[in-house]
Structure 1
């Protein structure tokens, strides 16, 4: 289980957990309506499916941060089912499923630098 923080500390590019799934915060907005409680509207991308959703939290809520490991890598090649990246620190090959790469495959060229996230 990841660290919990107050929703008011949320920031873009932060990784959070929502309904047991990891999300990356794309955008957020603190809303203070004339009547009623303040709330935070978060637009977040599901790191497994790529779907972007809007989530609303009460200003008093806390959220769980998602545990991610970030590795700097270089794209090597694809065999159709997997895309292979070389870890720039350990020189280990990292296989990433084609489903995880999806629409970004067109941007991958041999030797390009990439960041690979592990959950």
Structure 2
């Protein structure tokens, strides 16, 4: 595994630190008036979800880990575990449902997600950036209100509440950005 200097750490990098695998969530490069520069790194453990704040000087060496990414098809959820299947080998793996956090409702049956592996151990899952959802509840369309930049609340078929433009009505399919959890466009 390649070693990198402490000042080369970027958000999203996976690091091996203190015997665990950590993802850099937030990185601030600090140059104090007195003393050397350092990187203040907020990290999250990929195995147990614990968080850690660490300082790395430019002279510090850390091991950067490259995760193997594979497309996996979501099958079902039981007892808080999500079951995914490799579409080539038909091998099945399980990941905890709380790994997806707020984005869990956007995971649909048969959806293909990117699962990240480290030495055949599944660590993380990423949903597609855009997902089609149906609006099941919102205020009625008001004529003449479509020109303004106002938004109205809506409830999607997966139970998530988001803000949509005034021209979107009930039973309409829309595309939702899973990263920002916001309306993107009509489907």
TM-score by length of 2: 0.55
Matches within 5 A, 1:11-30: 11-30=10-29
**CA deviation string 1:5-28 (max 9, x = no partner):** 112221111111110110111111
RMSD, matched Cα: 2.0
CA contact (8 A) 2:23 2:45 kept: yes
Structure 2 CA distance for aligned equivalents of residues 103 and 5 of structure 1: 27
Q: Find 2:100's aligned residue among 100, 104, 115.
A: 104
Structure 2 CA distance for aligned equivalents of residues 94 and 81 of structure 1: 16
List runs of 5+ in structure 1 lacking aligned partners. none
How many residues end up aligned between the 2 structures?
115
Match of 1:63 in 2: 62
How far off is 1:109 after superposition? 2.1
Match of 2:131 in 1: none
Structure 1 CA distance for aligned equivalents of residues 50 and 5 of structure 2: 24
Match of 2:91 in 1: 93
Match of 1:117 in 2: 116
Which fold has the larger relative contact order, with Cα–Cα distance below 8 Å and residues 6 or more apart in sequence?
1
CA contact (8 A) 1:12 1:25 kept: yes
Choose 1 or 2 for highest CA Rg.
2
Closer, same or farther in 2 for the Cα pair 1:103/1:69, shift >3 Å?
closer
TM-score by length of 1: 0.82
**CA deviation string 1:17-48 (max 9, x = no partner):** 11011011111111110011211101111101
Q: Which has the higher helix share?
A: 1
